């Protein structure tokens, strides 16, 4: 059984990815504004069609990192608090993070829908497995 504190590292890695995407939004929006492609009005109700595609992709990816991963963070904290972190859960946690990184890279680069779907679906399957294993262990 690993040190319970180790479950915090995959959480930190996923948080770092989220901040990287947030920084990407800032950089691409500032660049678009400096180039005169957008004005503050283009962000009044989200993002207008004038916002460059790359900025919109990064923004959507950031939003995705603030949705389902919440369940990952909650589960990791539950594993930590209940001291039920196992080697299997650690491997799955890192697999989840790796798949989310892959999903983000695909999303903001080639944006191949099938590849993106496979990475996302894989991450969902890993997260679901983690939750099932957590409750099986509690039972």
User: Can you give the pTM of this predicted structure?
Assistant: 0.95
**Which DSSP string do the residues of 52-79 spell out, in sequence order?**
-HHHHHHHHHHHHHTSTHHHHHHHHHHH
Q: Is the pLDDT of residue 83 over 80?
A: yes
pLDDT attached to residue 1? 67
pLDDT attached to residue 46? 84
For 17-74, write each residue's pLDDT tens digit: 999 999 999 999 999 999 999 999 998 888 899 999 999 999 999 999 999 999 999 9
Segment 88-105 mean pLDDT: 98
Q: Is the pLDDT of residue 132 over 90?
A: yes
Torsion of CA 59, 65, 67, 73, to 10 degrees: -160
Its CATH architecture, for the domain 4-138, is Up-down Bundle (1.20)
């Amino acid at each position: 059984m690993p040190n319970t504190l180790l479950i915090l590292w995959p959480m930190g890695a996923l948080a770092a990815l989220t901040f990287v995407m947030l920084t990407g939004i800032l950089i691409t929006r500032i660049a678009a504004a400096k180039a005169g492609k957008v004005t503050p009005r283009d962000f009044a109700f989200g993002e207008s069609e004038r916002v460059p595609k790359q900025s919109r992709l990064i923004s959507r990816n950031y939003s995705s990192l603030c949705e389902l991963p919440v369940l990952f963070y909650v589960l990791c904290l539950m594993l930590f608090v209940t001291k039920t972190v196992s080697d299997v859960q650690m491997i799955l946690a890192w697999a989840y993070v790796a798949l989310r990184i892959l999903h983000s890279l695909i999303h903001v680069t080639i944006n191949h829908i099938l590849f993106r779907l496979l990475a996302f679906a894989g991450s969902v399957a890993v997260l679901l497995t983690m939750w099932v294993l957590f409750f099986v262990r509690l039972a």
